[in-house]
Amino acid sequence: MGRFGLSLILGATVLVALLLLSVLYGSSNVPVSEVFAAIASGLGFSDVEPNPMHRIIFDLRLPRALFAALIGAGLGMVGVVLQTTTRNDLADPFLFGLSSGAAAGAVLVITVTGDVLGVWTLPLAAFSGGLVASGIVLLLVRALQSSAPEKLILAGLAVSFLFAAVTNYLIFSGDNRAAHSVIFWMLGGLGLARWETLPLVAVGLALIAAYSVWRNRWLDALLTGDVTAASLGVPVGRLRTRMFLISALATAAFVSVAGVIGFVGLMVPHVARGLVGPMHRNLLPMAATIGAILLTASDITSRLLLAPQELPVGIVTTSVGSGFVFLLLLGTKRGVR
């Protein structure tokens, strides 16, 4: 068994342990036996009447743990795809206006419209905002008649600033009593994790995983540069546009239920490359595993750090991410020397 296999097995083991810890620990701790009893009862495998703790475990903690793993895995894979297609080691899912568009949609619901569609209102509004932002980016790129990486990044930044301005206007012009909810959502959190919205996250992960794994050889070719990739038969412009669109769809799905969680997509690809190298056949599943571990561990930390008060998970990931960027810059400086 090679390095990739060992790393994947170790990562999967750590992830399973973290998922169990995520369900066990919170504002009140529960024994492992209660966890399995609650899962058996929730799935209909047990005739025991569920108690309130069983409902907390099955309806709140378990979906939250699964959301953290799925969203972390998805953001890790999106980060790999964007860093490869833009040839920018600092690219991540939130560099292209996707999070700003989703935030604008969510803030519109929180401050203005309210839950007109019930539990689906906020996820659908955020998802729609992310799609609108990605659509504007693609229209800008098409108007420029170029899908070059630098054009894509500049278009994303412009759209990001635009939707950030819209979001700030909505915050100041809307209901001031909703400010706490807005801030918590914009800093990221998994409090909206429910079984009803799990399919949205699962579809986002399946979309980015299926297409990127299918086109892993084309992504490998992009590592050699556009000219060489084109000489190998890779439709560079079309691939870059499609990868961005699929990344946008997946990110919009994640942001719609978890808010803006930064730096996961930036950090994870670098760690995964250090373990298994740059080839995408191994890099993508490794990035998914590390992303799931990182967000699950961050969510556990956010719940325990100020217990019983919950800290937005984005604060944890941003704190870790800023330190990671410092180390990355210092490593680059030493490499230049």
In a domain? residue 33? no
In a domain? residue 191? yes
Distance CA 134, CA 137 (A): 5
Q: What does the pLDDT profile of the chain (337 residues) look like in tens digits? A: 678 889 999 999 999 999 999 988 876 777 777 777 777 766 666 666 666 777 788 888 899 999 999 999 999 999 999 999 888 887 887 776 777 887 888 888 888 777 776 667 878 888 888 888 888 887 887 776 666 667 777 787 888 888 888 888 887 876 666 677 777 777 888 877 888 889 989 999 999 999 999 999 999 999 998 889 999 899 988 898 888 888 888 888 888 888 888 889 999 999 999 999 999 999 999 999 999 999 999 999 998 887 778 888 989 998 998 888 888 777 765 554 4
The count of other CB atoms within 10 Å of the CB of residue 182 is 21
In a domain? residue 306? yes
Euclidean distance between the first and the last CA atom of the chain, given in angstroms as a whole number: 36
In a domain? residue 50? no
In a domain? residue 21? no
Domain count, the chain: 1
Residue with tokens 């490499």: 335
In a domain? residue 234? yes
Domain containing residue 172: 71-336
In a domain? residue 303? yes
- Sign of the four-CA dihedral 53, 58, 22, 191: negative
Distance CA 29, CA 24 (A): 6
Distance CA 331, CA 323 (A): 12
In a domain? residue 165? yes
Q: State the amino acid at position 67 in one-letter form.
A: F
The helix (H) or strand (E) run that includes residue 202 is helix 198-214
Using alpha carbons, select from 248, 255, 44 the residue that is nearest to residue 137. 248
Q: What CATH number did the domain enclosing 157 receive? A: 1.10.3470.10
